[in-house]
Amino acid sequence: MTNTAISVKGLKKSFKDKEVLKEVDFEVQRGEIFALLGSNGAGKTTAVNILSTLMKPDSGEVSICGFDVQRQPEDVRQSISLTGQFAALDGMQTGRENLMMIAKLRGVSNPVQVTDNLLVRFNLTDAANRRADKYSGGMKRRLDIAMSLIGTPAVIFLDEPTTGLDPEARIEVWDTINELSEGGTTILLTTQYLEEAEQLADRIAILHGGRIITTGTLTDLKEMFPPTKVEYIEKQPTLEEIFLALIGKGGEVNEK
Amino acid sequence: MKSNTGVLLGRLMRNILRSPDTIITVAITPIMLMLLFVYVFGGAIETGTDNYVNYLLPGILLITIASGVAYTSLRLFTDVKSGLMARFNTMPIKRSSVLWAHVLTSFVSNALTVVVVILVALVMGFRSNADILDWLTVVGILGLFTLALTWLAVIPGLTAGSMEGATAYSYPLIFLPFISSAFVPTETMPKIVRAFAENQPVTSIVDSVRALLYEGTVGNGIWIALAWCVGIMVIAYLIASKAFKRQLG
Ligand SMILES: Nc1ncnc2c1ncn2[C@@H]1O[C@H](COP(=O)(O)OP(=O)(O)OP(=O)(O)O)[C@@H](O)[C@H]1O
Ligand SMILES: [Mg+2]
């Protein structure tokens, strides 16, 4: 067993004549949090869809935990979980039912217990028997991530996990992701927010113009960015701290 | 694999029971049509029978199914749009079980509404002297018709860009029985309309069901009726499967 969880070499994908991924290469080690940073339309979702066997690449080698996405999709699906860009749940079912459904489909041996544990862990016990379409954005996202954890996949893909969430909910999701990573799960997340990558990622790759233009740790990247930009990044959490202080959650932020 | 389809079927059926409006709208429209045609237009319609409910019921049942499958498209469309479909497709389950769960849901829910409509027809005076075998044949034809329209409904459900787009196709389907032998005999229609009415699937299916319910024979048209159902089903199935694969690009 190698230490590489995700390996992408020379990945290409076009839609009709539109080249979205021109030549994408990166590797993610087991247990890492890896952020794929890119602006709107950079191809983040396309890359995640290919990695999670939803889409076929035009060319290139993509493997997850040593399994090739094209030749061994079944094995790949055993090893992964996808949390898509929008919370993928059945709004007409309760939180508990959503979790139970996934637990049964994944064939876990004790679905009721798994569901109960996740409800507690994601602070959804009180809302467990309410319909998911009545949840707030943050609760939906939490349920969505909880659904992805069932069956303890080795690799989790999170496509823009905090887009559209308020700062409070965003921090909840960040906490969850950090917790997951401590448990040894490999996480690939996409984001448009520099601060999110900064907060979470062990390593960051910037996807631009169909290629990974840089990869590295935050320190590596900071050296490459012009100082003015770095200052701008550093202001963001301050604003957030003000917002959170005003709504009475300031204490939690300072702990981070 | 079978149990996965079962889990997904359970979820979809629960959703149907939770939104009674869908059950009611599906059953109410054909029931209203039946009331309208029997008690308002019926007296003026010359069909050569004294029991117009009997004459009407087969066509009404086809309308029931045609409007019922629109909800199949809607449910599929919702799963695709919500990302649930993508979630299922990245899980270690057989991908076709997701589609089959929708198809079975369509089958079960349509069967339920058809039973409701038949019960209302009984109250309105529907009577049949068909024996068990005739009834089983009727169930078989209606079942095939449901499957054929269900697979047809899967196509827009998977490919539509909007909710309206996903269900728009069902209007012509619901309208088709009006230009058939469902409400009035085709003999009174102008030549071109008559030619269309007599050669479209609804007429052959309606005539076969009528023959089974009231004449105790399968009628000559049954092979044409079966051919239409199987033909539509096979073609729709192939297109739907292709759309499903293409969606996985
Ligand atoms: N199925 C598709 N057919 C045609 N074009 C597509 C398809 N999917 C994506 N695209 C195009 O590919 C480009 C990249 O899309 P993608 O969704 O991967 O970007 P993204 O980085 O996830 O963007 P966002 O931040 O908005 O989510 C976009 O220009 C998009 O219009
Ligand atoms: Mg995206």
- In one letter, which amino acid is A115? T
Q: What is the pLDDT of residue A31?
A: 92
Could you tell me if residue A117 is inside a domain?
Answer: no
Nearest-Cα residue of chain A relative to residue B4: A105
In a domain, A63, yes or no: yes
pTM for this one?
Answer: 0.87
Percent of chain A at pLDDT > 90 equals: 57
Rounded to two decimals, the ipTM of the complex is 0.86
pLDDT over 70 (residue A244): no
CATH number for the domain that contains residue A194: 3.40.50.300
Which of A48, A50, A51, A54 is most worth mutating to test chain B (most B CB atoms within 10 A of its CB)?
A54
For residue A190, give its domain range. Answer: 4-90+152-247
**pLDDT tens digits, B176-230:** 888 888 888 888 889 999 889 888 999 999 999 999 998 878 877 899 999 999 9
CB contact under 8 A, A84 and B8: no
Tally of domains within chain B: 1
- A213 is a domain residue: yes
What confidence score (pLDDT) does residue A227 get?
54
Distance from Cα A229 to the centre of ligand 2, integer Å: 24
Residue-level pLDDT at B231: 96
- B18 interaction partners in chain A (CB closer than 8 Å): 92
Distance from CA of B173 to the nearest CA of A (A): 28
B14 has a chain A CB within 8 A of its CB: yes
Which residues of chain B neighbour A54 with C-beta distances below 8 Å?
86, 89-90, 248-249
Backbone dihedral angles phi then psi of residue A126, each to the nearest 5 degrees: -65, -30
Q: Contact B198/B182 with Cβ under 8 angstroms? A: no
How many C-beta atoms surround the C-beta of residue A112 within 10 A? 12
Tell me: pLDDT of A111 over 80: yes
What lines the ligand 1 site, CB under 6 Å?
A 15, 20, 38, 40-46, 85, 192
Question: Is A177 part of any domain?
Answer: yes
Q: Between B7, B14, B92, which is nearest A74 by CB?
A: B92
In angstroms, the CA A102 to CA A100 distance is 5
Q: Which of A 33-72 lie inside 8 A of B, CB atoms? A: 49, 52-56
Give the closest residue to A76 by CA, choosing from A23, A12, A8, A178.
A8
Judged against a pLDDT cut of 80, whether residue A248 lies above it is answered with: no
d(CA A159, CA B200): 49
Task: Return the exposure string of A163-189: e unless at least 16 CB atoms fall within 10 Å of the residue's CB, then b.
Answer: bebbbbbbbbbbebbeebbeeebbbbb
* pLDDT for A251: 45
Rounded average pLDDT over A21-39: 93
> Do the strands A33-37 and A186-191 form a parallel or antiparallel pair, or are they unpaired?
parallel
Closest to B72 (Cα-Cα) out of B157, B9, B11, B8 = B157
For chain B, list residues with pLDDT below 50. Answer: 1
Nearest-angstrom CA–CA distance, A69 and A126: 39
What was the pLDDT predicted at B165?
A: 86
Min Cα separation B104/chain A (Å) = 17
Domain that holds residue B55: 2-248
A171 in a structural domain: yes
